[in-house]
Amino acid sequence: MQITHINPNPLRAKDERKVVNIGELLVNMGKIDRDQLKRILSWQQKAGLRFGEVASKLGLVSAADIGHALAIQFNYHYLRSGQGSFSKALTAAYQPFSPQVEALRALRSQLVLHWFNTGNRSLAVISANAGEGCSDLAANLAVVFSQLGERTLLVDANLREPHQHAIFNLRQPYGLSDILIGRVDHNVIARITELDGLSVLPAGTIPPNPQELLSRKIFNDLIARLRDQYDVVIVDTPPASMNSDAQTVAARCGGALLVSRLNRTRLSDLANIRDQLVFSDVAIVAAIVND
């Protein structure tokens, strides 16, 4: 993982990706060496089999190794157990073929059809109370959008009790709050190199005046600038029932995804959030229930 500054072209164009053959990928992954690569290619030519089949028959790689290399070849980046230093809550990265992540992909499809394909690029993720899965959902949603090949930015706008720096194991001291007071000259963003196309802007220093910071014109201008530089901007927010931060952030984003938890979230809380968002002319793009 590396820290970078936003520039007019923060990530390479989506159509400029170079396809690398599976043998080279396995060498780059440290699963085989060059001599073993030559041996596999020789057997492949004689047997007329796929590279992965020959490599497996020779006992040089496992089926999981082949699967991971294929995923990279098809630009579908995920992490194997023990890889990276991220939270295990990042199921879209560590368990991409699980039922939970299949449900996330279904949600992603709906958001693409009904929001992002209509010219919108930013979306606030909102829950009524703490413990309803808002931050985890925002993080995993950002991952599945990056796996789609979209230049994706996750912004932690929870300036009261942020979580994204812990989920992605970010150690830098600066973030969103520091940008909003002019402490940093540029928008410092962590590019998650293990997950191609994904970047994270952490919350930064916890301020004494989060509502005032988020209400300033500089935050609105920042979101507008990020929309110009990324295909998808997902913004995590603090619990909406505790303050008006989430409402303010959603108004800047234009749309909101409501998150609730089964047998925990009260309908009255959801109704209050809905009324607040409607009053602020925020589009309620979708609502999901965590179990």
What does DSSP assign to residue 116? G
Q: Could you tell me the two tokens for 92?
A: 């879209």
Q: How far apart are alpha carbons 62 and 155 in whole angstroms?
A: 37
State the DSSP code for 122: E
Sequence-ordered list of residues with C-beta below 8 angstroms from that of 224, at least 6 positions apart, any chain? none
**Using 50, 70 and 90 to split pLDDT, how confident is the model at 6?**
very low
H/E element, 54? helix 51-57
Parallel, antiparallel or unpaired: strands 283-290 and 255-261? parallel
pLDDT on residue 13? 46
Mean of the per-residue pLDDT values of the chain: 90
* pLDDT at site 287: 95
What pLDDT does 48 receive? 86
From residue 60, give the alpha-carbon distance in Å to each of 30, 164, 268.
11, 38, 58
Please compute the mean of the pLDDT values over residues 144-170 and round it to a whole number. 97
215 vs 16 pLDDT, higher one: 215
- Tell me what the mean pLDDT of segment 14-34 comes to: 78
pTM exceeds 0.85, yes or no: no
Q: Given a cut of 50, is residue 2 above it in pLDDT?
A: no
> What's the burial of 182, exposed, middle or buried (CB within 10 Å: 0-12/13-18/19+)?
exposed
| pLDDT, tens digit, 9 for 90 and up, residues 173-208 | 999 999 999 999 666 899 999 999 999 999 999 999
CB 282 within 8 A of CB 256: yes
The reported pLDDT for the residue numbered 65 is 83
pLDDT of residue 266: 94
Which fold is adopted by the domain 2-9+85-290?
Rossmann fold (3.40.50)
Per-residue pLDDT reduced to its tens digit, 53-101: 889 889 988 887 887 787 777 777 888 877 888 999 999 999 999 999 9
Q: For residues 126 and 17, give the distance between their C-alpha atoms in angstroms, rounded to a whole number.
A: 34
What tens digit of pLDDT does each residue of 122-153 get? 999 999 999 999 999 999 999 999 999 999 99
Torsion, Cα 97 101 104 109, to 10 degrees, reads: 0
Angle separating helix axes 245-253 and 217-229, nearest 10 degrees: 40
Structure confidence at residue 49 as a pLDDT band (50, 70, 90):
confident
For 107, counting Cβ atoms within 10 Å of its Cβ (0-12 exposed, 13-18 middle, 19+ buried), the class is middle
For the chain, the structural domain boundaries read 2-9+85-290, 18-73
Q: Summarize the confidence of residues 261-280 as an average pLDDT.
A: 94
Residue 265 pLDDT greater than 60, yes or no: yes
More confident residue, 255 or 14: 255
